[in-house]
Amino acid sequence: MEFLKKLGIEGTNLGTSTGQKFIGSGAKETISSHTPIDGSQIADTTVTTREEYDQVVNTALEAFEEWRMTPAPKRGEIVRQIGLELREHKEYLGRLVTYEMGKIYQEGLGEVQEMIDICDFAVGQSRMLYGKTMPSERPRHRMYEQWHPLGITGIISAFNFPVAVYSWNAMIAAVAGNVMIWKGSEKTPLCSIAVQNIIAKVLKRNDLPEGIFNLVTGGREVGEWMTEDERLPLISATGSIRMGKEVAKTVAGRLGKTILELGGNNAIIVSKDADLEMAARAIAFGAVGTCGQRCTSTRRLIIHKEVFNPLKERLVEIYKEVNIGNPLKEDTLVGPLIDQQAIDNMQNALQEVQDEGGEVIYGGEVLENKQLDGGHYVRPAIVTAQNDWDIVQEETFAPILYLTQYSDLDEAISLHNGVKQGLSSSIFTLNIREGETFLSARGSDCGIANVNVGTSGAEIGGAFGGEKETGGGRESGSDAWKAYMRRQTNTINWGSEMPLAQGIEFDVD
Helix axes 164-175, 189-205, angle to 10 degrees: 30
Beta bridge partner(s), residue 46: 30
Q: Is the pLDDT of residue 86 over 90?
A: yes
Return phi, psi of residue 208, to 5°: -90, 155
Residue 373 confidence (pLDDT): 79
Do the domains 266-459 and 2-262+471-488 match in fold? no
What pLDDT score was predicted for residue 374?
Answer: 86
Taking only the tens place, the pLDDT of each residue in 299-323 is 999 999 999 999 999 999 999 999 9
| pLDDT over 70 at 370, yes or no | no
3-state secondary structure 283-348: HHHHHHHHHHCCCCCEEEEEEECCCHHHHHHHHHHHHHHCCECCCCCCCCCECCCCCHHHHHHHHH
Instruction: State whether the Cα torsion 134-135-139-140 is positive or negative.
Output: positive
User: Do residues 174 and 326 touch, judged by C-beta distance below 8 A?
Assistant: no
pLDDT tens by residue, 41-84: 999 999 999 999 999 999 999 999 999 999 999 999 999 999 99
Q: Are the C-beta atoms of 456 and 296 separated by less than 8 Å?
A: yes
Query: Beta-carbon neighbour count of residue 482 at 10 Å?
Result: 14
Query: What's the pLDDT score for residue 97?
Result: 98
Model confidence pLDDT, tens digit, residues 460-501? 999 999 999 999 999 999 999 999 999 999 999 999 999 999
DSSP 147: E
Proportion of the chain above pLDDT 70, given as a percent? 99
**Domain regions of the chain by residue span:** 2-262+471-488, 266-459
**Which is nearest to 311 in space by CA: 392, 398, 385, 403?**
403
Residues known to be catalytic? 261
The yes or no reply on domain 2-262+471-488 and CATH 3.40.50.1820 is: no
Kind and range of the H or E element at 483?
none
What is residue 457's predicted lDDT score, i.e. its pLDDT? 87
Say what the pLDDT of residue 499 is: 92
Q: For the chain, how far is it from start to end, CA to CA, in angstroms?
A: 83
Residues near 65 by Cβ (< 8 Å), separated by ≥ 6? none
Distance between CA atoms of residues 157 and 429, nearest Å: 35
* For range 424-439, the mean pLDDT: 98
For the chain, what is the mean pLDDT? 96
Contact call for residues 178 and 153 (beta carbons, < 8 A):
yes
Residue 369: per-residue pLDDT: 77
> What share of the chain in percent tops pLDDT 90?
95
Average pLDDT over residues 6-23: 94
Residues with Cβ within 8 Å of residue 432, at least 6 apart in sequence = none
- Averaged pLDDT for residues 402-412: 98
By the 8 A CB rule, do 129 and 436 touch? no
pTM given for the model: 0.96
pLDDT in tens, 115-130: 999 999 999 999 999 9
CA angle 384, 389, 393 (to 5 degrees): 100
**CATH for the 266-459 domain, from 3.90.1150.10, 3.30.450.40, 3.40.309.10, 3.40.50.2000:** 3.40.309.10
User: Higher-confidence residue: 477 or 507?
Assistant: 477
